[in-house]
Amino acid sequence: QGPIGWTPLQAANAYATMARSGAIRDATVIMNDDRSSLRERSGDMNLDPQAVTLALEGLRDSIEKPYGTGNHITYEDGHTEPIVTAQGVIAWAKTGTAQAPGKRFDTNGDGMPDTDVNGLDHAWFVGLVGSAAERRPRYAIAVVLEYGGSGGRVAGPVANQIILALQDLGYLPRPDAAPSGGKGAAR
C-alpha cells in the first residue's frame, strides 16, 4: 500500500472538518495549559452538504449495520461482540487494516534484531462521536496501532474505551444522566 501520508491527528482533523461541512480549524495540542503560542488557521472548503450527508451515512452504517467493519468482532468460535458499547452516543467511523512492511525483532534478548516478521498490519479506527440525543458529531477520534492487526478487532475496542472515557469525563452524556449539552462544540 505504500507509505501513509497522514498522521492520526491529521486523520481526526479531516473527519472533524467534514463534520463541520468543510469549516477548517486546525487541531491544536495544548500542553500544560499554555496557550501563548496558539495559532489557528481557519477557512472553508465549501463541501457539498449532500456529499457530507452521504459520507456520514456511510460512516454510520460502518458502525450500525451488521456488515460494517466497525459493527462487531467475530471470534473463532463464531460468537460476536459489538465494538462500540457506549450507550447514549452515536458514532460515525471507518476501520482500516493497512499493510505494513516487515519488521525485525530481538527475540533472544541480545539487543540485536534477529527475527524477521512479515504479515503484520497497522490497525486504524477513525471516526466521530456525539450524543445520541443531538445526533451530530462533536468529537473526532483516531486510533492507530502499528503492527496491531485488524482495524475493527484491535483499534475499534481502543476507540470504544476513548468514547467511554469521554462519557466518564463529562464530554459526552452518560446513559443514566440527564442531557447537559456537553462541554464543547464539534472539535
Residue 175 placed within a domain? no
Which range among 2-6, 91-95, 138-142 shows the weakest confidence by mean pLDDT? Answer: 2-6
Question: Is the model's pLDDT at 10 over the cut of 70?
Answer: yes
- Whether 148 and 122 have beta carbons less than 8 Å apart is answered as yes
pLDDT higher at 44 or 58: 58
Average pLDDT, integer, range 139-157: 92
Domain count within the chain: 1
Say what angle helices 8-19 and 49-64 make with each other, to 10 degrees.
120
Q: Is 109 exposed, middle or buried (0-12, 13-18, 19+ CB in 10 A)?
A: exposed
**Model confidence over 26-42: pLDDT tens digits?**
777 767 777 666 666 67
Whole domain around residue 88: which residue ranges? 8-168
Residue 25 placed within a domain? yes
Alpha helices in the chain (DSSP H): 8-19, 49-64, 156-168
What is the pLDDT of the chain when averaged over all its residues?
87
Cα–Cα distance between 149 and 10 in angstroms, integer? 21
Percent of the chain whose pLDDT exceeds 70: 88
Confidence class for position 178, pLDDT limits 50, 70, 90: low
- pLDDT at position 98: 85
Residue 119 placed within a domain? yes
Average pLDDT, integer, range 153-161: 95
CATH at 62: 3.40.710.10
Residue 88 placed within a domain? yes
pLDDT higher at 178 or 103: 103
Residue 179 placed within a domain? no
Residue 1 placed within a domain? no
Residue 73 placed within a domain? yes
Residue 3 placed within a domain? no
pLDDT higher at 108 or 4: 108
